Chains A and B, each alone.
Chain A
Amino acid sequence: MFYRETGQFKTNYAGDMAVFPILQDRIGIALILVVAFVLIPLLGSDFLLSSVMIPFLVFSLASIGLNILTGYTGLISLGTGAFMGVGAYACYKLTTLFPEVNIVVWIVTAGFFSAFVGVLFGLPSLRIKGFYLAVATLAAQFFLQWCFTRIPWLYNYNTSGAIEVGQRTLFGMNVTGPKASLEARYMVLLTLVTVLTWVASNLMHGRIGRSFMAVRDMDIAAELMGIDLLKTKLLAFAVSSFYAGVAGAAMMFLWYGGGEANDAFNINQSFLILFMVIIGGLGSMIGSFFGAAFISMLPTMLKFGLPALGIPLAGATAEHLTYILVGSLIIFFLIVEPHGLARLWQIGKQKLRMWPFPY
Chain B
Amino acid sequence: MSKRLTVLGLAASVMASSLIMAAPQAAAQESVYVPLFTYRTGPFAGSGIPIADGMHDYLQMLNERDGGIGGVKIALDECETGYDTKKGLECYDAVKPKNPVMVNPWSTGISLSLIPKASVDKIPVLSMAYGLSASARGDIFPWVFNPPATYWDGLAMIIRYIGTESGGLDKLKGKKIGYIYFDGGFGKEPIPLFEQMAKEMGFELKLYPVPPGEMQNQSSQWLSVRRDRPDFMVMYGWGAMNPTAIKEAVKINYPMDKFVSIWWPGENDINGTEGAKGFKMLNWHGIGTDYPALKDIQKLVVDKGLSKSPKEKVGELLYNRGVYNAILIAEGIAQAQKITGKKVVDGSDVRRGLENINLDEARFKAIGLPGFAGNLQLTCKDHNGHRAAFIQQWDGAKWVKMTEFIEPLPEKVKPALDEAAKEYGEKNAGWPKRSEACDKS
Binary contact track B9-51/A, C-beta < 8 Å → 1, others 0: 0010011011001111100000000000010110000000000
Query: Chain B's nearest CB lies how many Å from the CB of A153?
Result: 14
Which residues of B312-366 are within 8 A (CB) of A? none
* List of A residues within 8 angstroms of B184 by Cβ: 161, 260, 262-263
Contacting residues, chain B, for A51 (C-beta < 8 A):
89-90, 93-94
Residue in A closest to B419 when the chains form the complex, CB atoms = A159
A262 proximity list for chain B (CB < 8 A): 184
Q: Say whether, besides A256-B89, A262-B184, A264-B85, A316 and B7 are in contact (CB < 8 Å).
A: no
A260 to B85, Cβ gap below 8 A? yes
Residues of B within 8 Å of A337, CB to CB, are 4, 7
Contact residues in A for B7 (Cβ distance below 8 Å): 333, 336-337, 344
Q: Does A259 contact B (CB under 8 A)?
A: yes
A163 to chain B, nearest CB (A): 9
A338 at the interface (CB under 8 A from B): no
Given A45-B97, A262-B184, also A298-B86 (CB < 8 A): no
Q: Give chain B nearest CB distance to A69 CB in angstroms.
A: 24
Q: Does B216 contact A (CB under 8 A)?
A: no
Using an 8 Å CB-CB cutoff, how does the interface string of B402-441 with A read, 1 for contact, 0 for none? 0000000000000000001001100111100000000000
Report whether B90 and A179 are in contact in the complex, using a CB–CB cutoff of 8 Å.
no
CA A336 to CA B3, docked complex, whole Å:
9
Q: Tell me if A166 counts as interface (CB < 8 A to partner B).
A: yes
B185 close to A160 (CB less than 8 A): yes
B183 close to chain A: CB less than 8 A: yes
Identity of the chain B residue whose Cβ is nearest the Cβ of A347 in the assembled complex: B4
Which B residue sits closest to A167, measured CB to CB? B430
Q: How far is the CA of A318 from the CA of B21 in the complex (A)?
A: 16
> Is A162 part of the contact surface with B, judged by Cβ < 8 Å?
yes
Contact A162 B80, CB 8 Å, known A258-B116, A264-B86, A301-B18 = no
A201 at the interface (CB under 8 A from B): no
Contact B21 A99 (CB under 8 A): no
User: When the two chains form the complex, which single residue of A259, A297, A320 contacts B112, counting CB atoms closer than 8 Å?
Assistant: A259
From the candidates B8, B120, B132, B183, name the one contacting A178 in the complex (CB within 8 A). Answer: B120
Q: Does A308 contact B (CB under 8 A)?
A: yes
Q: How many A-B residue pairs have CB under 8 A?
A: 170
Is A267's CB under 8 angstroms from B213's CB?
yes
Contact residues in B for A45 (Cβ distance below 8 Å): 23, 97
A156 beta carbon closer than 8 Å to chain B = yes
| Min C-beta distance of A97 to chain B, whole Å | 12
| Chain A neighbourhood of B134, CB < 8 A | 159
Report yes or no: B113 in contact with A47, Cβ–Cβ below 8 A. Answer: no
> B209 contacts which chain A residues (CB < 8 A)?
149
| A50-B93, A178-B117, A348-B8 known; A320+B109 contact, CB < 8 A | no
Q: Flag if B85 contacts A259 (CB, 8 Å).
A: yes
CA distance A45 to B212 in the complex (A): 35
Alpha-carbon separation in the docked complex, A333 to B2 (Å): 16
Per-position 1/0 for A123-164, Cβ under 8 A of B: 000000000000000000000000001000000101111101
Q: How far is the CB of B434 from chain A (nearest CB, A)?
A: 15
For B86, the chain A residues whose CB sits under 8 A away are: 55, 256, 264
Residue of B with least CB distance to A315: B78
* CB 8 Å contact bits of A276-309 with B (1 = contact, 0 = none): 0000000000000000010001101101110011
Q: Nearest Cβ distance between residue B135 and chain A, in whole angstroms?
A: 10
Q: Which residues of B have CB within 8 Å of A52? A: 18, 21
Q: Does B119 contact A (CB under 8 A)?
A: yes
B310 in contact (CB, < 8 A): no
Asked if B268 is at the interface (CB within 8 A of a chain A CB), the reply is no
CB contacts under 8 Å to B, within A315-341, are 315-316, 318-320, 333, 336-337, 341
Please pick, from B94, B121, B188, B420, the residue contacting A304 in the complex, using a CB distance under 8 A.
B94
A48 lies within 8 A of chain B by Cβ? yes
Distance, CA A347 to CA B9, complexed state (A):
12
- Give the nearest-CB partner of B5 in chain A: A351
CB-CB under 8 A from A149, the residues of chain B are 183, 209, 211
A259 touches B428 (CB 8 A): no
Answer yes or no: A314 CB below 8 A from chain B CBs.
Answer: yes
**Residues B189 and A160 in contact, CB atoms below 8 Å apart:** yes
Report the minimal beta-carbon distance from A200 to chain B, rounded to whole angstroms. 22
User: 1/0 per residue B100-143: CB within 8 Å of A?
Assistant: 00000000111011001101110000000000111000000000
Q: Which residues in window 44-90 of A have CB below 8 A to B?
A: 45-48, 50-52, 55
Question: How far is it, in angstroms, between the C-alpha of A99 and the C-alpha of B5 when the chains are bound?
Answer: 52
For the complex, is A202 an interface residue (Cβ under 8 Å from B)? Answer: no
B376 within 8 Å of A by Cβ?
A: no
Other A-B contacts than A158-B423, A336-B7, 11 sampled, CB-CB below 8 A, are: A47-B96, A52-B18, A160-B188, A160-B189, A162-B185, A178-B121, A293-B15, A305-B21, A315-B40, A315-B80, A319-B80
15 contacts between A and B (CB under 8 A): A47-B97, A158-B423, A160-B132, A165-B428, A167-B429, A256-B85, A257-B117, A258-B116, A260-B108, A264-B86, A308-B25, A315-B38, A315-B79, A316-B78, A333-B7
Q: Which B residues form the contact surface with A (CB < 8 A)?
A: 2, 4-5, 7-8, 11, 14-15, 17-18, 21-25, 38, 40-41, 52, 77-80, 82, 85-86, 89-90, 93-94, 96-97, 108-110, 112-113, 116-117, 119-121, 132-134, 183-185, 188-189, 191-192, 209, 211-213, 420, 423-424, 427-430
Lowest 9 A-B CB distances belong to which pairs?
A315-B78, A316-B40, A259-B113, A178-B116, A167-B430, A45-B23, A319-B80, A260-B109, A348-B8
